[in-house]
Structure 1
Amino acid sequence: MRKRTIIIAASVTCALVVAAGLGVLIWWLVTRDDGVEDLYTVIKLEGDGVGDIKSTAAFTRIRDVGDVFWWFYPTVANSTLSMPIVLWLDGVTGVPPSLLANLGMIGPYDTNFNERSDSWINNYNLLFVDAPVGTGFSTPLDNSKIPTNVDENVAHLLIVLESFYSVHEEYRDSPLYVLGQADGAQSAVALAIKLNELKQAPSETDTESESEPINIEGVIIGNGIISPAVAMTKLGFYLEELGYIDGKGRTAVENLSEQTNALVNSGSLEAAFNNFFTLDTFVNGDGGAVAVNLRNIVEKVTREPSESRAYFNRESYIRSVFGVEGVNLMNNRVAPALGISSDVVYDAHRADVAQAVRGTYMTPFTDKIEHILQNTNLTVSIYNGNLDAITNTPGQLEWVNNLRWAGQSAFSNTLRRTLIVNSYVEGYFRETERLKFYWINAAGQSTPLDNPAAMYRITTRMMPIPSI
């Protein structure tokens, strides 16, 4: 494969199969040398970077779609190629991985470009992808190219992964774990299924030009929006028990939750989406909470006007985490350091992305979890910060405890154990070989940020490190 400053990837042929009523996309990513027009181009960024630690930052330019940004850090551990790759995804309501996951939580540098001593790079290779296109540095050709559902986003992610391995072919056999935070969990689960299908599919040819399968090992769900309407049914109970609303507030929240769940069950997904996206405003208005940050309910916040609470008070959350405007940080410091053109404006299409998925966002993904547990050997690891009201732990357990698969009884009957780090109780966990659940104390939606000690401990339980 020829490499240049701009790397033109080997041509890729995609066959698209849409299963009736499900919209399932199966992309067979097979490299060929028969002159077919290139599906993607990898544009490696040539900036000075944000520090001395080795990394690759690039755009995958997908034909007729746009540019998807990814940022890869090889682990600093010995035997780099044997260590797992963590692919981090977020979604519509969250903060792009290039900002929050990377600079805010687990990457080698913080927002001041100082080295982070407890970075996950100590044990893992880290791959951050701003997806869907339209979030972070990823830019669509126009708004019609923004994915309207998870399957379209997964189709783009498959191409991005193939482009990544075209640059770093040496990592093809490294174990891969797909981690989805918040609504990024939906894409993480769907992507894991597709990667496993490609891994298990028999070779169609024996030619040397065929793309090798990706070594997917498991999926990790971090405060995942998997069955949002079901999780909402426990929100009134959760907030009243903690004293944030009273009985009247609980009734109001539960009425909204029951209405939303009924809308999902009847297929009225856009109306359910409207309810879910106004949840922050509703809880702090009709529910009577006034000034509760649903992402982390113990964080002190001021009374905010309703228009500033978009995406679950996202902008205030970013300011509280970084002390600066996240968009300004990425546009004014990170983009120049990486060599990204000033024409690319960070997260400029966020509202357009939210608009695009209105009709599909509330689709439950529990059946996809069951598919993985029933039909694959992949592991499913779930962690949840107990201070996250959006994916409140009782609501998460409502769908987790009702999963249908052969190992469910063993999982339910397994003793819940205590997670102790440096003599402190940082949470609890229940583990079987295939399914793991972690309750994390003193943590909201961004669990690795709020309780890095607990997360650092459980990473090796979710993603075992090979013996060297």
Structure 2
Amino acid sequence: MALKGRVPQQDWGYVNVRSDAHMFWWLYYATHATKNYTDVPLVMWLQGGPGASGCGYGNFEEIGPYDTYLHERNTTWVKEASVLFVDNPVGTGFSYTTNDDAFAKDVSTVSADMIVLLKDFFNSKTEFQKIPFYIFSESYGGKMAAAISLALNKEIKSGRIKCNFGGVALGDSWISPVDSVLSWGPYLYSASLLDDQGLSKVKECAKEVQNAVKNNQFDRATELWSKTEDVVEQYTDNVNFYNILTKESTMDYRNKFMENSKFGNNFLGKLFQRHLLPRQNDYLSELMNGPIRKVLKIIPDDVMWGGQAQDVFAKMAGDFMKPVIDIVDELLSENINVTVYNGQLDLIVDTVGQENWVKQLKWQKMVEFRNRVWSPLHMCPQCTETVAFHKSYENFSFFWILKAGHMIPSDQGQVALKMLRMIISKK
């Protein structure tokens, strides 16, 4: 691996979180210009999917020190904090299971597995016990991060984990799936990507999803969610669910995927093709299964990066449409710092849907938060372009990131870095 620039100190390993369940982690020590890594926070990054690899996609496509060409990334978060990537749930990325029954099926199991990993991590790397620790997440990773944060807080309070938990950041997160689906039609219509007929069809499908969720028919709701996406693609000429201004459609992955799919052409197959397969593009897969695994040296011979992603996705399917707004409420009530951030151009978890579930929070200080006026953010004191808006009250914050889709660090790296600095410095 020919790396350019300053190579950060690194470490990685496996933790056996359950019988037959092995979770992989990768740590980069901070390369702050003026501070030692023990004087800056530790950030854990959780990818979405479920089944997308933080050690792969989040690392090389978003916030790690190198991109997929192994060139230095000037917007890496390692400049500001030590960064811990984890491939979760088990079976994701280089994590793996040796028994079909070992895959997680819900966020409760996902969070329990992560607690085992974090307990091992903080026990073995005691220098991080007093450093502020933050969990940042993206997409389905946000749903998992909320549950993990609540479980971690309980472990800290009981004394079973020594950790200085600073808070959780939920990026374009699948917290209330039905609120996202219900907002797709109006959002696309306002962006001139649906006409009246298309809007009517999308709203009709979204209503079916809503009814299934109300009746706790979550498997049915997942199938109807996929059907709604079919209708969205039909009436928008295959809009990109991850950035509405980028024409590259997830349809591009379909033919290749269907040749090797375990799902066939059913609704789960379509969802996997749209939302997980693009996170495992050919170039990234070749990088991870080629030079990266050679450097890591600990990956079992029979484990292929991303090889169990379809299994992870399928096993978690019953959890897809379940909301976790109540978990966010509990985090806020526990006085844990919670940040929501979202990209303006995201569709799958559009900002309108995020705002709608936030309005449902029962947190006792929600009225004060809603009454505050957001502040524009600029990249420098002399800069005039507004890159985001921000609003905060006590332990709850919201960032509206402009000109960004679902993967904010990829679309607006400098803005994401600015947001990170604000969160970890509470400024």
Give the count of matched residue pairs: 406
Radius of gyration: which is bigger? 1
Compared CA separation, residues 365 and 377, structure 1 to 2 (3 A) = same
Higher relative contact order (CA 8 A, sep 6+): 2
- 1:315: how far off? 6.7
Closer, same or farther: CA 66–325 of 1 in aligned 2, 3 Å: same
Q: Find the counterpart in structure 1 of residue 142 from structure 2.
A: 185
Among candidates 438, 449, 464, match of residue 399 of structure 2: 438
- List per-residue Cα deviations over 1:145-184 (Å, max 9, x = no partner): 0001001011110111112123312111111111121011
Deviations 1:238-262 (A, max 9, x none): 0111111211111111111111111
Structure 1 residue 332: Cα displacement: 1.4
Secondary structure, counterpart of 1:59 in structure 2:
strand
Q: Distance in 2 between matches of 1:343 and 1:178?
A: 31
Matched AA of 1:383: Y
Contact 2:51–2:312 (CA under 8 A) maintained in structure 1? no
Distance 1:114 1:305 in 2: 26
* Residue in structure 1 matched with residue 133 of structure 2 by the alignment: 176
Distance 1:274 1:212 in 2: 39
Specify the SS of the correspondent of 1:62: strand
Change (3 A) 1:282 1:235: same
TM-score (norm 2): 0.89
Counterpart secondary structure, 2:369: helix
Deviation at 1:313, TM superposition (A): 2.8
CA RMSD between the two structures:
2.3
Structure 2 counterparts to residues 7-406 of structure 1, below 5 A: 52-77=7-32, 78-93=35-50, 95-201=52-158, 211-285=160-234, 288-301=235-248, 304=252, 310-311=271-272, 313-314=274-275, 317-318=278-279, 324-339=282-297, 340-374=299-333, 376-406=334-364
Segment drifting more, 110-119 vs 426-435: 110-119
Distance between the aligned counterparts of 1:437 and 1:349, measured in 2?
34
Greater share of helix: 2
Q: 1:276 to 1:65 in 2, by over 3 A?
A: farther
Q: 1:399 to 1:63 in 2, by over 3 A?
A: closer
Alpha-carbon distance in structure 2 between the residues aligned to 1:48 and 1:305: 30
* Distance verdict in 2 for CA 1:460–1:120, change over 3 Å: same
**Partner SS for 1:425:** coil
Residues 352-395 of structure 1: per-residue CA shift (max 9 Å, x gap): 11221222221111111111112x12111011001110111111
Instruction: Tell me the CA shift for residue 276 of structure 1.
Output: 2.4
Amino acid paired to 2:330? H
TM-score by length of 1: 0.82
1-side partners of 2:275 and 2:178: how far apart? 20
Letter in 2 for 1:418: P
Residues 61, 68 of structure 2: 8 Å contact kept: yes
Note the C-alpha offset of 1:336.
Answer: 1.2
Amino acid at match of 1:234: S
The whole-number CA distance in structure 1 between the counterparts of 2:277 and 2:90 is 23
Q: How many Å apart are 1:122 and its aligned residue?
A: 1.0
Residue identity opposite 1:239 in structure 2: L
Q: Distance in 2 between matches of 1:58 and 1:129?
A: 10
In structure 2, the gaps of 5 or more residues are 258-269
Q: Percent identity?
A: 26
Spell out, residue by residue over 1:246-297, the C-alpha distance to the aligned partner (whole angstroms, 9 max, x if none).
1111111111111111111111011111222454433112xx1122110111
Equivalent residues of 1:291, 1:304 under 8 A apart: no
Partners of 2:331 and 2:276 lie apart in 1 by 35
In structure 2, relative to structure 1, the CA distance for the partners of 1:347 and 1:62 (3 Å cut) is same
From the superposition, tell whether residues 75 and 279 of structure 1 become closer, same or farther in structure 2 (CA, over 3 Å): farther
Distance 1:247 1:175 in 2: 50
Give, in whole Å, the separation in 2 of the partners of 1:130 and 1:104.
Answer: 15
- Give 1:38's aligned residue: none
AA of the residue aligned to 1:240: Y
Distance 1:260 1:289 in 2: 20
Cα distance in structure 2, aligned partners of 1:289 and 1:456: 33
Task: Give the aligned residue type for 2:378.
Answer: I
